[in-house]
Structure 1
Amino acid sequence: MIERIAEFCIRRRAWVAGVILSLTLILSWFALHIEVRTVFEDMLPSRHEYVQTHEKFKDTFGGSNMVTIMFEVEEGDIFQTAVLDKVRTVTLGLREVSAVNQYQITSLASKKLKEVRASTAGIESRPLMWPDLPVDAEAMAELKRSVLRNPMVYGPYVSKDLQATLVTVDFIDQQVDYSKVFHEVRALIAKVDDGSVKIRVVGDPILYGWVNHYLPETIQLVLAALAVTLVMLFVLLRTWRGVSLPLLAGVVSAIWALGICRLLGIHFEPLVIVVAMLITSRAVSHSVQIVNRFDDEIELLPPGSDTSRIAARVALADLFRPGMLGVIADAACMAVVALSPIPMLQKLTVLSVVWVSTLTVSAVILTPVLLSFIRKPHGMAHPINCLPVLRKVLDLAVVVSLSRARYAVLGVSLLVVVSAGLYSLNLKIGDANPGSPILWPEAQYNQDSAAINARFEGVDRMFVVLGDDSRPDLIKGNEALQAMNSFQRFIEAQPEVGGSASIADVLPQVNSSLREGNPRYLELGDSGSLNGSLMAMLDSVSEPGDISRFADDHYANGAVTLMFRDRQGETIRTAVARIKEFIASHPLSEGQWHLAGGLIGVMAAVNEIILSSQIEAIALALLVLAVLCTIVYRSTTAGMLFMVPVIISNMLTFAFMTWKGIGMNINTVPVAALGIGLGVDYAFYIADRVKEEIAIGSSPEHAIRQALHSSGMGVIVTASVLILATLLWWASSLRFQAEMGLLMAIWLSVSAFSALFVMPSLIYVCRPRFIFGERGQAAATITQPTSFQPA
């Protein structure tokens, strides 16, 4: 069947090339119109309990797209007209920002921060600094005193040293455009930033806005990597076809993938450019293998008019099986990610599977078809020949594989895999370091985040809800209030939780105010009737929206908002475990607790999904790979044999992630899944060439020597080129891209080493029947030579 496919493609080469190029032109129009953006809702596993709580209450208690702005002075305090005027200007200006939730803007200059007072005239609740700034020094001093005696403001919104204050604002998840919000918020801050006050801003809209901000730099790195790839291919392969055809294969696969995804309505996530580069590297790899095999055949054929056609047909026929198996393995291993309930990963899976599948057309078929058109295939484009240096490496691989050193290679590989596997048990799920792992620690965003966390209770928030929709006024009851108060004291014992807030923190202010500010009464009432009276008094002086941070309109549900100083996976898991511990040990007669909303609640859900599914996903991907190899080669031994390089590359990669503190999160999971297929591609070409040589009567030694000097040359060329190209990503301003580029380089290095040294040694020792057939037993009795002449 493979021979017939190869014969048809070369015989009808004009039609095949014409159809492929015509479809490429059509799909290029759609590819140019694909959307490049981050959609927050795609990151949420909608069926998870925490996400359902988040979706239900986010409009009341705050969503996960909150932005925090800090105004900080170096000398004196913030109670200066110039400083507070900046706070007021930004607070009012935020109303005009796209997708803003105008009921979730909170600062000293907003109507939400109030002081409750009691006098002979009654109880009043008035904003601290709204609608106007203090008019004189006495008014400014009174504002300062009001802040100092209000624990809901002093600490949460004004720092303990009085040198900083916060503005917080939330955005509507369904409408938020990170790039637009990023530019509008920065433009608003620029209007008031005259250098006298340090202004810092953090939040997911700002974080992903920075990702989009660096998109031009990312494109420059892509072009630089492409240039390095082309130059190295030109130097090493010494032909224009060795440069142009791998480039064309990568371009055609990208156009097809992006065009098809545009037709399917799938957008392009900026952070997955790393995945795109990884897949494009596979296109280059497959194409270089075919070009290299074409060049080998050309050297064996005499010059003639049909030389290129014959060599192209042989290259296509001989490499069709390993090429297709590599494509299918990559696609199948990536498809496993679609089992995750996270829409972003599902859409990325579709994009990746489509992209990988297009390699069948762009590399496996189009490259040999175009090779068949070459009229003068014997010429070289330049006199520099670097291949003898690479052949020395291949000679070493031959000597190692066919001598007793092969046992040392296999033994050391086993020891390394076991050690790396044990070390990888410490791999973190979720973010592994403070700040955002997407950016470098010295990036402005991470510096701003660290500065805010140092002065305040924490940037990132989680809310836990206590209530029952069928029980209005439940939160006014003594049991609910006491439960909230106890819960807050319990959870604040965790060092990473900087503070908490609930309606149980507001009522003590009312209680103290009724007794002329006596601090002895700065606590909840000791009876349900007293707490109910305090709640009624607070409600009577509140305006619509004042209580929305703490309870819904019917007081059926109340929230405890927790402030976190970091978003590391271990911090979130500890907090969730402690919350569940408290709930289990403090049962309620009415109402129930609901976990967990806000950004940290959403991240907890994502981390739990990854934690529960990662091991299963890796195991399933390995199973898929084994089944594919078993079907193609009709041997269970093949399935087990090809798992060896995959296990080696993945264990070493996971060990590297553990060492460098790279957590397994929503951004790194797709790269890890695709790496399972990446780890075996090179081995397919080596093993299949050995099988081919054995089939024509070669001895095992000659077959391995030929495989290494033919397919092995393609492996070492593509690996060296792509390793250097991917290392360029270390210059990226996005830490995630830099680390994933380094991760890809390690994957490629280990995969190449496994294909050149481990697989030939394993094949020679095990003599699997699917490669050697019945000759395997006979070959085992052949006296092994003591020395080998390099090919």
Structure 2
Amino acid sequence: MSNTSPNQQAAAPASRVQAFFESLVFGQRALALSVLSLLLVFLSWQGLQVRPEASFTKMIPGNHEFINNYMDYRQELADLGNVVRIVVESKQGDIFTPEFQEVLKQVTDEVFYVPGVNRDGMKSLWTPNVRWQEVTEEGFVGGAVIPNGYDGSEAMLARLKANVFKSGQVGVLVGNDFRSAIVLAPLQDVNPETGLPLDYRELSDFLEQNVRDKYSSDQAQIRIVGFAKVIGDLIDGAVQVVLFFVLAVLITFTLLWLYSRCLRSTFAVLACSIFAVFCQLGVLNLLGYGINPYSMLVPFLVFAIGVSHGVQIISAVVHNTVQGADKLNAAKLAFRSLYLAGITALVSDAIGFTTLMVIDIGVIRELAIAASIGVAVIIVTNLVALPIIASYVGVSKGGVAYARAQQDKASLVERLFARFARPRQAKAMLAVALILCGAGAYYAQFMKIGDLDAGAPELRPDSRYNRDNAYLVANYSTSTDVFVVMAKTEAEQCVAYSNLVWMDQLSAHLSNVPGVQKVTSVADVSKFGNFGMNEGSLKWYGLNRNQFITNASVAKAPEGLINSECTMAPVLVFLNDHKAETLDRVVAAMRVFNAERTPDSVEFLLAAGNAGIEAATNDVIEKAQTEMLIWVYGVVIALCLLTFRSPRIVLAVVLPLMLTSLLGQALMTLMGIGVKVATLPVIALGVGIGVDYGIYIFSKVREALAQGKNLVESYTYTLHQTGKAVAFTGVTLGIGVATWVFSPIKFQADMGLLLTFMFLWNMLGALILVPAIAWLLRIDNLAAKPAATVAPEAGAAVAETPSHSESSKVQNVRLESEPA
């Protein structure tokens, strides 16, 4: 064996590329560290300025057919999209008391002045646009539901009660049991007072403090539902994520110290990883982005990836220090041996995350941007800054002593996983993998798209919002889940008799779809008008061919059932829930109707309302999930092929990742988790992080194979060099995200469960299946060259024996044929 010392090895880079990068990082390390420190401090300060944000338009697909149709008529459908419903419930008796009406009036006035509320579309018993009408001998009569001169007297309350019955608002704005009433407030995307996007957290806080807390009493209870309230509750819950982040840091600190027994190394890794998080947030702030509830997980991922790569660097520094290198040369050797694998893994992560951009949903695209920026920052903090810091602080005497004591011992990782490179165990593991693949494929086929729970599935079933929503569904005839079909006609033709007939037929068609509560349109108004104009005779309850009579019958049509140009009339479909199966049935029924009936004068466009938007989102996600997987795996395969130049190595790296993705989909089926905006990115993120394990493992396997070792010896060498770090990283990341299962936000708990599974399974796949697949594909044949072909300038000799202690000393061996 060569007696070349580690310090001499560090003085002799294996290639011009290595020499260039080392001189760039270590040539002026004091200056480099100063510049990096200033940059990190500036970006961290910017990161502290980032604020939570949410936008209704960013939650929906940008160019879907349904959304384009909705945007064309958005103003006319204002009260069917982004609305808040405030339910005022009487705890003592019904709503026809002076005390209850006073509370309802005050809540209506309070909500009227909330910034961002579309006041023209606001509805309550106390707003003038909610009216009653009836048929008398003289024809139709009507007026505002609240009588003129209302003073709370018994006579006025009796008139109010009669007006409510005549208004048609029972089950709509008034509970079926007459114990509650609704204040309906449509919202704008922009706050007209500031010109800025509506701040949903601020709006939610206002509603809590100025409505719920202010008007809840022994006589009345306030319930609030709507998109804005969901987002507000998500942001409030996401703020608690900071506590989970702190917990993850504490867990990681403890495990890092137990791993290295060196405080300075532990603090260095944590500091660089935490700086990466703040810098990522700083870059987002400089680019004008905030952080929404769905991208709240990105700081966790950035921290996790930073720790993953930091552990590899520190492990190499400790190993080189034990071999006799000084602080500077130990850091140089660590950088030299890992920079190529590290950059490959991080670039693979970053490009893999950008594949999420194929999904045409704003929040997912922002998540992709945030994750990609975070990975780019890690290249600076953990692959550049950390080795420089290590060259100054080194490893403590305690850390060196602990590593030296462990050097000649086979670690638990080596004892558990080294056997899987042997033929017998490899065959067994491959058989197990095939069984798991079959089981995963079976259950994955039942994976559902969209929400699988009623209410707001982003929140816990027992959350206050979902309890409020359950009350509204149980006590009102029209649910909060509305699917809107837009009947488009020529100008002034939306109430033509022939068009009303088609609307009426569509209503009958959709009323028979399971999950549909009620269907209503201007055709129903015309029927009621004909009924009323003919002294309430039931035989006149229908559509009239005489257009003059039809025009008269819709003269009092409620606002929102026809637009001002009479070019569009919405058909409102009230649903039991917005589960994916319910939406699929409604959309399918509409497709059948449009295919079988093709009227010339009216076109039925899909879709608006919260349920219509949800259907469009589900459609985009269903189409995008396969495309996203193709892109993410395509990027990973391309980069691995570029790095290793061997299709067999690429297969060994990628096949375990594919098995984990398949098992992750099966887990979603078994746990009742649908593929939606919150969960779709998880599989891509899991693949992006999981590929790091395989890349680090194969960088060492190839190094050992180049020394003439067989596969078993090479894998033993790899486990000693990097296997412990891979296992440590997988376990640490898994424990860190496992804390999310306690989050009040259900989708974050779901993501925590899925990411924990994927982190651990990717780690196990790398340690168990990678050597087994390597044996199957005879990867050891790739390094059939004799040891003499190893580049002499690599600065390390080939070990003559495969002993554990000797193999652990071999550093930085490269094949002549290896690309620089």
Q: Give TM-score scaled by structure 2 length.
A: 0.88
Q: 2:225 aligns with which of 196, 202, 206?
A: 202
Q: Does 1:320 align with 2:339?
A: yes
Check 1:556–1:216 CA distance in 2 against 1; reply closer, same or farther (3 A cut): closer
Deviation at 1:108, TM superposition (A): 2.1
Identity %: 24
1:732-758 deviations in whole A, cap 9, x for unaligned?
111111221122211111011011111
State the AA in 2 paired with 1:263: L
Q: 1:384 to 1:566 in 2, by over 3 A?
A: farther
Give the whole-Å Cα distance in 1 for the aligned partners of 2:625 and 2:636: 16
Provide, for residues 388-422 of structure 1, a one-character-per-residue CA deviation record: whole Å limited to 9, x for no partner. Answer: 99922431211233251121111101220232123
Query: Where does residue 723 of structure 2 map in the other structure?
Result: 712
For structure 2, which runs of at least 5 residues remain unmatched after alignment? 1-16, 192-197, 788-801, 809-820
Structure-2 change in CA distance of 1:132 and 1:267 (3 Å): farther
Contact 2:482–2:611 (8 Å) recurs in 1: yes
One of 672, 675, 678 as aligned partner of 2:689: 678
Q: 450, 458, 465: which one pairs with 2:479? A: 458
- Using the TM superposition, name which of 439-448 and 585-594 deviates more: 585-594
Asked whether the equivalents of residues 275 and 671 of structure 1 are also in contact (C-alpha less than 8 Å), the reply is no
Partners of 1:257 and 1:358 within 8 A in 2 = yes
Report how far residue 335 of structure 1 moved.
1.0
Question: Any residues of structure 2 matched to 1:558-573 within 5 Å, and which?
Answer: 558-573=569-584
Q: 1:168, CA displacement in angstroms?
A: 1.6
8 Å Cα contact 2:322-2:404 kept in structure 1: no
Contact 1:57–1:597, Cα closer than 8 Å, also in 2: no
In the alignment, what sits opposite 2:350? Answer: 331
Q: Measure how far apart 1:101 and its partner are.
A: 0.6
* 1:56 counterpart = 2:64: no
Aligned to 1:512: 531
Q: 2:290 aligns with which of 244, 264, 267?
A: 267
Distance 1:48 1:236 in 2: 50
1:290 corresponding residue in structure 2: 313
Q: Distance in 2 between matches of 1:59 and 1:486?
A: 26
Structure-1 residue corresponding to 2:507:
488
Q: Report the equivalent of 1:400.
A: 420
Q: 1:781 aligns to what?
A: none
- 2:28 aligned partner, one-letter code: R
Q: Could you give the per-residue CA deviations for residues 160-213 of structure 1, whole angstroms, max 9, x where no partner exists?
A: 333333222110123432112212222223222113233221111000101122
Partners of 1:382 and 1:206 lie apart in 2 by: 57
Structure 2 residue corresponding to 1:111, chosen from 121, 128, 135? 128
1:715 Cα deviation (Å)?
A: 1.0
Structure 1 consecutive aligned stretches of length 4 or more whose deviation exceeds 6 Å: 381-390, 787-791
Q: Distance in 1 between matches of 2:762 and 2:226?
A: 39
* In 2, Cα distance between equivalents of 1:515 and 1:139: 30
Match of 2:655, SS state, is: helix
Q: Give a deviation string over 1:640-673, Cα, whole Å, max 9, x none.
A: 2221121022112121122212221122222222
1:661-693 CA-partner distances (Å, limit 9, x unpaired): 222112222222221212211111111111111
How many residues are matched? 768
Q: Name the aligned partner's letter for residue 52 of structure 2.
A: V
Q: Which residue of 1 aligns with 2:446?
A: 426
Q: Verify the 8 A CA contact 2:54 2:200 in the aligned structure 1.
A: yes
Whether the aligned pair in 1 keeps the contact of 2:730 and 2:760 (CA below 8 Å) is yes
Partners in 1 of 2:538 and 2:178 — Cα distance?
Answer: 21
Match among 208, 216, 228 for residue 193 of structure 1: 216
Deviations 1:747-775 (A, max 9, x none): 11101101111112222332326953547
- 2:390 counterpart (357, 365, 371): 371
- Aligned partner of 2:640 in structure 1 is 629
Q: Report the 3-state secondary structure (helix = DSSP H, G, I; strand = E; otherwise coil) of the residue aligned with 1:198.
A: strand
* Structure 2 Cα separation of the partners of residues 127 and 212 of structure 1: 39
Q: Which moved more, 1:215-224 or 1:4-13?
A: 4-13
- Shift in CA distance, 80/381, structure 1 to aligned 2, threshold 3 Å: farther
Please state if 1:184 is matched with 2:215: no
Residue 758 of structure 1 aligns with an amino acid whose one-letter code is L
Matched-pair contact (CA < 8 Å) for 1:690–1:771? no
1:169 aligns to 2:185 (yes or no): yes
Cα-to-partner distance string for 1:195-240 (whole Å, 9 max, x where unaligned): 3233221111000101122244221121111111112211222111
**2:624 is aligned with 1:605:** no
Q: Which amino acid aligns with 1:464?
A: V
Hey, what does 1:543 align to over in structure 2?
none
Match of 2:374 in 1: 355
Provide the rounded CA distance (Å) in 1 between the counterparts of 2:774 and 2:317: 25
Measured after TM superposition, the shift of residue 385 of structure 1 is 12
C-alpha distance in 1, partners of 2:382/2:149? 68
What is the CA distance between 1:723 and its match in structure 2? 1.7
Distance 2:428 2:704 in 1: 26
SS at match of 1:271: coil
Q: Which residue of 1 aligns with 2:674?
A: 663
Say if 1:337 and 1:670, in contact at 8 Å, map to a contact too: yes
> Does the C-alpha gap of structure 1 residues 400 and 639 become closer, same or farther in structure 2, counting only changes over 3 Å?
closer
The amino acid across from 1:431 in the alignment is D
CA distance in 2, matches of 1:343, 1:216: 21
Please give the secondary structure, in 1, of the residue aligned with 2:398. Answer: coil
Could you say if the C-alpha distance between residues 33 and 74 of structure 1 is closer, same or farther in structure 2, counting changes exceeding 3 Å? Answer: closer
Contact kept? 2:147, 2:159, Cα under 8 Å: no
Conserved 8 A contact 1:81-1:133 = no
Unaligned runs of 5+ in 1: 539-545, 777-784
Q: Equivalent residues in 2 for 1:197-236 (5 A)? A: 197-236=220-259
In the alignment, which residue of structure 1 is the partner of 2:13?
none
Matched, 1:85 2:102: yes
| Contact kept in structure 1, 2:519 and 2:572, CA below 8 Å | yes
The correspondence for 2:591, drawn from 569, 580, 589, is 580
Aligned counterpart, 2:272: 249
Counterpart of 2:454 in structure 1: which amino acid? Answer: P
Q: Paired residue for 2:299?
A: 276
Partner of 1:745: 756
Whether the 8 Å CA contact 1:236–1:386 is kept in 2: the answer is no
Q: How far did residue 75 of structure 1 move?
A: 6.0
CA shift for structure 1 position 728: 1.4
Contact map agreement 2:430 2:772 (CA 8 A) in 1: yes
In the TM superposition, residue 77 of structure 1 has moved relative to its aligned partner by 2.9
Distance 1:676 1:739 in 2: 17
Q: Secondary structure at the match of 1:558?
A: strand
SS of residue matched to 2:565:
coil
CA pair 174-598 structure 1, distance change in 2 beyond 3 A: farther
Letter in 1 for 2:318: D
Distance in 1 (CA, whole Å) between partners of 2:147 and 2:451 is 39
Q: Aligned residue for 2:464?
A: 444
Tell me how far apart the structure 1 counterparts of residues 700 and 749 of structure 2 sit (CA, whole Å).
35
Question: For the Cα contact (< 8 Å) 2:235–2:292, is it kept in 1?
Answer: no
- SS of corresponding position for 1:475: coil
CA distance 1:195–1:149, shift in 2 (3 Å): same
Residues 517 and 248 of structure 1, relative CA distance in 2, 3 Å threshold: same
Cα deviation 1:466-517 (Å, max 9, x = unaligned): 123xx22212211222222222222232343322332222233333332344
Query: Does residue 154 of structure 1 match 2:170?
Result: yes
TM-score normalised per structure 1: 0.91
Q: CA deviation at 1:455?
A: 1.9
Q: Please give the residue correspondences for 1:536-551 in structure 2 after superposition, counting only pairs within 5 Å.
A: 536=555, 538=556, 547-551=558-562
Change (3 A) 1:758 1:249: same
Kept after mapping to 2: 8 A contact 1:274/1:741:
no
RMSD: 2.8
Question: What is the Cα deviation at residue 136 of structure 1?
Answer: 3.3
Tell me: CA distance 1:510–1:205, structure 2 relative to 1, closer, same or farther (3 Å): same
Q: CA deviation at 1:699?
A: 3.3
